[in-house]
Amino acid sequence: MTEATFDKPFPALTPAQRYHLEVFGYVVIEETLSADEVGQLLEAVYRLKRGLCQLENPLADGARFNNAYLLKNVPNHHFIGNILESDPAITAYATHPRLVSMAEELMACEARIVEMNAHVNSRVPEDAKSGSPRYRFHRGTDIPFGGHVQGGLFHCNFVKTLTNLTDLSPEDGGTVVIAGSHKVDVPQDDLIELAYQDPSLIHQVVAPAGSTLLFSETLIHATGQIRSDKERVIIITGYGAPMFPYWDKGELSDDFREQIPEQLTTLFHGKAHWGRSPRYRTLAEAADARPFAMGDWNDRPTPDDQ
Ligand SMILES: O=C(O)CCC(=O)C(=O)O
């Protein structure tokens, strides 16, 4: 049973995509964004990076540029945090009806945005020399706390939609994950060690620009290793259950808050309540294939408007 606050497809994933997500803890969906939408987001991220790089102190304790700041500021890696209101195209990405619904399907509840950031990174010279890459593997939540199973399907209360804005060939540093680790509750270091012993267990995102990696934050994952000369640009929204806080070291500005339409209240502010508006599907259910574009973030129709 779905209780939508704005019009979104449900289920958002095809049975085969949901099965892939179930088995591996992630699924990559190509063409979630059009070439034009990718272009708008790429420009927005580069504008932010330029603006931030002009600040004397662009880190969290310094000044902000369009409310964003740098979480990492080294020549080959700019990690830009708190970008939710930094550009209308970026806000549109975070509120994209299909992407929000994909997140809700994995969480099994209504979504609240908990973090929003972007990475612009390129090859680290020392990395290119190492034949067997080591990654900064991590999880965002643990399985007993973050996960649950209902109707035979795994769900997690913290998930991400990570979209690459540049093409990713195997040399271009796509996100790496330890396939299936999202529901194997044994010490994380043991899983990491066995994955290094059998690298076929490490799956890497290789996909054209405009593809979205949807994953459970119980899945062990990391930034991949760039071995090409290409810069990688990705944009990420983290979604949590509606009673979760926003944890991106940021506050939405008053000006932005005033523009939030009623049907997006939970998505931006969450809900101070235990009710999570459950969202479950069966594997047999076909995807709701209605087309949804990125559109304007503050002009999302309600289901009744349709
Ligand atoms: O850079 C990446 O591909 C992965 C990002 C990541 O590890 C995260 O968002 O937790």
**Structure confidence by residue, pLDDT tens digits, 195-242:** 999 999 999 999 999 999 999 999 999 999 999 999 999 999 999 999
Atom of ligand 1 nearest to the CA of 222: 7
Ligand 1 centroid–CA 299 distance in Å is: 30
- What is the structure's pLDDT at 2? 42
Rounded-to-10 torsion of CA 129, 163, 211, 265: 170
State if residue 175 touches ligand 1 by the CB under 6 angstroms criterion: yes
Ligand 1 centroid–CA 175 distance in Å is: 6
**Cβ-based neighbours of 283, under 8 Å, separated by 6 or more:** 15, 18, 19, 22, 152, 153
Structural class in CATH, domain 17-242:
mainly beta
- What is the structure's pLDDT at 46? 98
Q: How many CA atoms lie within 13 A of 259 on its CB side?
A: 13
Pocket test of ligand 1: the residue of 158, 221, 231, 237 to mutate, having most ligand atoms within 8 Å of its CB, is 221
Mean pLDDT of 245-261: 92
Give the confidence band of 304 by pLDDT, cuts at 50, 70, 90.
confident
Closest CA to 72 of 81, 63, 64: 81
- Integer Cα distance of 23 and 182 in angstroms: 9
Q: Higher confidence at residue 207 or residue 272?
A: 207
Q: In the predicted model, what is the mean pLDDT of the chain?
A: 95
- What is the structure's pLDDT at 306? 67
Closest CA to 165 of 32, 282, 71: 32
pLDDT digits (tens, 9 = 90+) for 30-79: 999 999 999 999 999 999 999 999 999 999 999 999 999 999 999 999 99
State if residue 17 touches ligand 1 by the CB under 6 angstroms criterion: no
Mean pLDDT of 102-127: 95
- Integer Cα distance of 288 and 271 in angstroms: 26
Beta strand 202-204 with 69-74 is unpaired
The DSSP code for 54 is T
Q: Which helix (H) or strand (E) holds 121?
A: strand 112-121
Q: Give, using CA atoms, the residue closest to atom 9 of ligand 1.
A: 236
